[in-house]
Amino acid sequence: MTDQFAVSAAPRPTVEVASSPHRFPVRRIYCVGRNYPEHAREMGMGDDRAPPFFFMKPADAVIASGSDVPCPPRTANLHHEIELVVALGAGGRSIPMDSALTRVFGYAVGNDLTRRDLQLAAKEQGRPWDTAKGFDHAAPITPIVPVARSGHPVKGRIWLEVNGTLKQQGDLADMIWSVPEIIAELSTWFGLEAGDLIFTGTPAGVGPLVAGDRVRGGVEGIGVLEHRVVAQ
């Protein structure tokens, strides 16, 4: 088996499962582009119910809460985006909304780290977002809380502090697209599978991070994400 691959094979990225010896194997990371009215407005977009749009991060962008997150190169404007993350325990295609929640394994808190300067330039030039969203360590995440313990959160405070100062605050009840709606829509574009993570969008108050900053953010009933930002 050791000579099965032509080059060394990277291990599958995983995320801790809260109070469990088992880890969650990450297959794909999907992200919702705009899902809170206040944040849509601060980014210069409408806050209507235009269908959600999606982008992706590589699976190995996950980095555990408590880690030092290296500041990515070639940005002068790294931003935080605190988000509720859905972890799928099963998948499917064109999943009906009324059964979408049966696919959820659990929930976590994540930071959709963004090179905002590159994202704004990409939008202007009609270029892809990969360098803005899909860089190394771009997805700090807490342990996943299984649904049996978390339930399916539909309201609750979502917040983020930088160096102890509150920067982002909202409520899950303000999400433009609910978790079942996101899963149903996403599954019309992609075949979803166990191991997929979905970052569900961020509330208003996104802003810059620099090396030395301490980030702390959470979702009521799910967990608290903590990480530092350190020089490369």
Stretch that binds Mn ion, among 36-44, 107-115, 120-128, 138-146 (CB under 5 A): 107-115
- Which H or E run includes 37? helix 37-42
Cβ 83 to Mn ion shortest distance, Å: 6
Stretch that binds Mn ion, among 91-99, 112-120, 184-192, 222-230 (CB under 5 A): 112-120
Cβ 202 to Mn ion shortest distance, Å: 5
Number of residues engaging Mn ion in binding (CB under 5 A): 3
SS3 labels along 108-157 = EEEECCEEHHHHHHHHHHCCCCHHHHCCCCCEEECCEEEHHHHCCCCCCE
Q: Which of 202, 218, 222, 227 binds Mn ion (CB under 5 A)?
A: 202
**Measured distance CA(126)–CA(38) in Å, rounded:** 24
Q: How many residues does the chain have?
A: 232
Cβ 81 to Mn ion shortest distance, Å: 4
**Measured distance CA(151)–CA(14) in Å, rounded:** 22
Cβ 79 to Mn ion shortest distance, Å: 9
Nearest position to Mn ion, beta carbon: 112
**Measured distance CA(142)–CA(58) in Å, rounded:** 17
Binding of Mn ion at residue 30 (CB under 5 A)? no
**Residues 74-93, mask of contacts with Mn ion (x by CB under 5 A):** -------x------------
**Measured distance CA(58)–CA(80) in Å, rounded:** 18
Cβ 39 to Mn ion shortest distance, Å: 8
Residue 108's CB is within 10 A of a number of other CB atoms, namely 28
Q: Which of 52, 59, 109, 112 binds Mn ion (CB under 5 A)?
A: 112
- The residues of the shown chain that bind Mn ion, judged by CB under 5 A, are 81, 112, 202
